[in-house]
Amino acid sequence: MRLNKFLAERIGIARREADDLIKRGKVIVDGKTATLGERVNDGQKILLDDKQIESRHTFTYLMLNKPRGYVASKKRQGETPTLYELLPEKFQSLKTVGRLDKESSGLILLTDDGDFAFQMTHPRFFKIKTYIVELDRPLEPLHQQMISDFGINLPDGLSKFLVAKLDSGVGKRLRVEMSEGRNRQIRRTFAALGYEVKMLDRIEFGRYKIGELKPGEFKELKR
């Protein structure tokens, strides 16, 4: 097994992050500084920052229905609670897969499997995320077509995703599907056209669906 894959599986980081650790000389294999592309096996002694990495690891995968008003970080932002306060101690070391901002709710994944996190978030794997969005006023048909067919220019590039109306054509309640995940992209896209997002709830991420999971509840997943 390549060393970067070993590190990704054992400590829950992406392979590119593992490569960076190797390049910086942070990894020691059998007493020697590791090199990029090096292959290892379970019988070797592998250290990261002078701490031995266990050779075997069972990964954990969680799905959480994040309530609105919680941040997806380890530390509180002022008095704002973190989603980790909803989890027992044994899951505190897990990392979130992607992001949901404080005012958004719904499905968020957590894991210690770096390869899984990379495959779920990197654009080349094209994982579709589905949201229910509510606007402050009905979405005009022209604006719906602009977003879905042409995209909206934002400071960090073109934003394009599928939009469908859910409320018998009124257009305040929408279903949004996208494979990107730039910071507050949905909110910024509608804001560029003069709308305010009043509610944003993620219900699907790839093959994972929120189902009957209530806000604040979580469950373990099997890959």
Structure tokens at 55: 């050779």
Spatial distance between the Cα atoms of 133 and 14, rounded to a whole number of angstroms = 31
At the top level of CATH, the class of 61-122+215-220 is: alpha beta
**Per-residue confidence (pLDDT) for residue 43, from 0 to 100:** 76
**Does the domain at residues 3-52 carry the CATH identifier 3.10.290.10?**
yes
Q: Which CATH number, 3.40.50.2300, 3.30.70.1560, 3.40.50.300, 3.20.20.150, labels domain 128-205?
A: 3.30.70.1560
Alpha-carbon distance of 104 to 147, in angstroms, equals 20
Burial level of 204, CB count in 10 A (0-12/13-18/19+)? middle
State the Cα–Cα distance between residues 180 and 128, nearest whole angstrom. Answer: 8
Give residue 77's pLDDT.
81
Indicate if the pLDDT at residue 182 is higher than 90. no
Q: Which residues are catalytic?
A: 101
Between CA 203 and CA 95 the distance in angstroms is 19
Q: Place 55 in a pLDDT band, splitting at 50, 70 and 90.
A: low
Q: Is the pTM of this model over 0.95?
A: no
